[in-house]
Amino acid sequence: MGKAATFLLALLLPLAAAGQAPPAPYAPGAAPGVPLSLEEAVRFALDHDPAVAQARAVKAFNLGLLQEQRGAFDEQFSFAASFSRETLQLPFGVKKNELSRRRLLRTVAIAFEGLANGIQQQLDSGVFGPLPGCVDTTLTIGTTVTEIHCIPPTVFIDLEAILRGSGDAGLDEAVEAVRQAWRRQLETYLATSRFIAYVGRQLLRQQGVAPTLEDRDTLSYSLGLGRLFRNGVFLEPKVELQAVRDTWRGKPLDPSFGGKGVLVSYRSQFGFNLDVPLGRGGGVVAAQAGERAASKQAEAAAYGEAAALQQAALRTTIAYYNAAAALARVRLLERTLAREQELSAVARALVEADELAPAELAQLDARRAQAASNLAAARQAWLRARVELATSMGLRAEAAAELPELAEELPPPPDEATLAQLEAAVRGEGATRRRPEVQAARAALQAASELAAGDRANLRREVTLAFTAFYSGLHESPRTMAITRWWPDASKAFGEGFVGPSVAVSLNFSLPVANSFARGRLQASLARQRQAAIGLGDLQRTVTLRAQELLLRLRQRQRELAERQRAVAAAQASLEAAQELFRAGEVSVVDLILTEETLQNAELALVDAQLGVAASVAQLRFELGELLPTRVTGTTVTVGEG
């Protein structure tokens, strides 16, 4: 009993679902403390960029939706326990039978009690004759009529007359023997009558008052394991147990004590329910539409994560190049300031030797102050570039010392072979083939198409074939359904044999008249599909156009870079010649300052040209999907060619 109760209590407990730990909250990265290369900065950004974290959260959300859709096809364990009490008034015929039964018992008790009293009077008086106190009785129970008749007095022998005649004839001993025999017979009748009267009174007392209400208690348990298959078929094996106690209120089960006489019944069933969709294309499309759409949407989210990774790599690369250019400007202006200081020292020596006017020394000092001011502005720009780089990397910095330092300079310009490869990739539609945004848009279109197909299937009529088959067992017990002892009787309902199978087949047909709900959903799904198709086509068009534009811009900036390099070389040679002439006193300070400014402007323009080429290469590789190669397998995103 203990094991059975434990088993049932365990069934009553809810099943604990496997919990999932909440994702870790987003946190920006700490300063690495060492100069970073471009690769290290990009890797840091991939781990800490909030946009990447957002994309991963979106993918996790879509994976949750996919798991939710797949959950419709999971096995589902069901357990139900119920108790009901139904109170009914007794039907008129049943109530009449109960009243007639009690009248019968009362009449029998009175009749035999009167018979016993008459016999007792004969025994006391010694005068024997017909049995007194017997009354003809007619009893009606339901449709059965029973008549009780007494023996007519004419059939009795005048025993006293016979005995007096026998006494006059001198047969005293025979007379006495007959008297004693008859007395013994009457005593037997007396005892029997009194016993029957007593039993009648006792039965009447046990029956009690006639019942007026009927109570029907039902205790049910049901266990099931159902599953919806991807072809739309639903199968559910079930085991059921039902205990029913049907009796009259205030009465025990035993009919001798006024009960109904119906035993407590324990019925068991085990079988299965099967629902087979016949309409809507067999249910295959409608059943799987949600799961297929969620799978494609999760795939789109995975490509969205890959796109976020590439965009983070592009932002970090551009920010790194901007910082590298700002640092190059700082170093260039530091060299310019150093040259200005050297020229000031030479000019001061010439002034002391009376070879140069003091006024020209003031011009050099003003030029040196301007160079120092330009250097301060460049250092501020370098600080801002480091802040932008930290922002792109997702780095947390609470002081200027925690901002990232660079370990690399601007990259060299690409050679002609590299440019030819990039141009071939643009002509070969590499942008649309490798861009994860395009793949995400294509997966979103497929998801919308799956939903539209499911909604189109749901537009048709619904026809379902339902089939049920089961075996049943029965056990009856006179004991009550007390919770402490109901299981032994209930378990016997499974061990005393089963009968069956019992089957039921039904065909359900449903066709909405206007079907506005399904038509509205289909229109919305088709509109979503058209939107996804338009978005995919527009994205493919704009990606191709941007790639072609960036290729042309790269070619232009490559030519500009070559011109800037030649300009720097010419300005460098001109400055060196001007310095030699200045030392020889053949050129003025103004000419030297102008030559210095020309070199400085040429070098700054060269840095800008180098930055433009590097940024154009990065943007073009991004448009071609080559800046950060990613691979999506299912919903897993890996970085690298792998």
In the chain, helix, strand, coil percent, each to 5? 60, 15, 20
Provide CATH code, domain 42-71+285-456+517-629: 1.20.1600.10
pLDDT at 4: 40
With b for 16 or more beta-carbon neighbours within 10 A and e for fewer, the 46-79 pattern comes to bebbebbbebbebbeebbebbeebeeeeeeeeee
Q: Tokens 């793949």 appear where?
A: 439
CB atoms within 10 A of CB 588: 16
pLDDT at residue 434 above 70?
A: yes
Q: What pLDDT is stored for residue 318 in this prediction?
A: 93
Instruction: Select the highest-mean-pLDDT range: 17-21, 338-342, 582-586.
Output: 338-342
Q: For residue 603, what are the CA distances in angstroms to 330, 440, 571?
A: 12, 44, 9
Q: What is the pLDDT of residues 193-205, one digit of tens each?
A: 788 888 778 877 8
User: What average pLDDT does range 388-408 have in this prediction?
Assistant: 86
Nearest CA to 300 among 51, 632, 598, 641? 632
Predicted pLDDT of residue 291: 82
| Short-list 591, 598, 590, 596, CA closest to 567 | 598
Strand 213-228 and strand 462-477: the pairing is: unpaired
Between CA 624 and CA 428 the distance in angstroms is 10
141, 100 in Cβ contact below 8 A? Answer: yes
Residue carrying the six token digits 């079988």: 271
Count CB-CB contacts under 10 A for residue 425.
21
Per-residue DSSP letters for 406-473? Answer: BS--PPPPP-HHHHHHHHHHHHTTHHHHH-HHHHHHHHHHHHHHHHHHHHHHHTS-EEEEEEEEEEEE
pLDDT for 582: 67
Higher pLDDT, 216 or 484: 216
Percent of the chain scored above 70 by pLDDT? Answer: 81
Angle at 626 between CA 625 and CA 628, to 5 degrees: 95
For residues 333 and 320, what is the distance between their CA atoms, to the nearest angstrom? 20
**What dihedral angle (degrees, nearest 10) is formed by the CA atoms of 590, 593, 595, 598?**
-130
pTM of the complete model: 0.70
Q: Which two tokens stand for residue 462?
A: 């619904």
What is the C-alpha separation between 29 and 618, in angstroms, rounded? Answer: 24
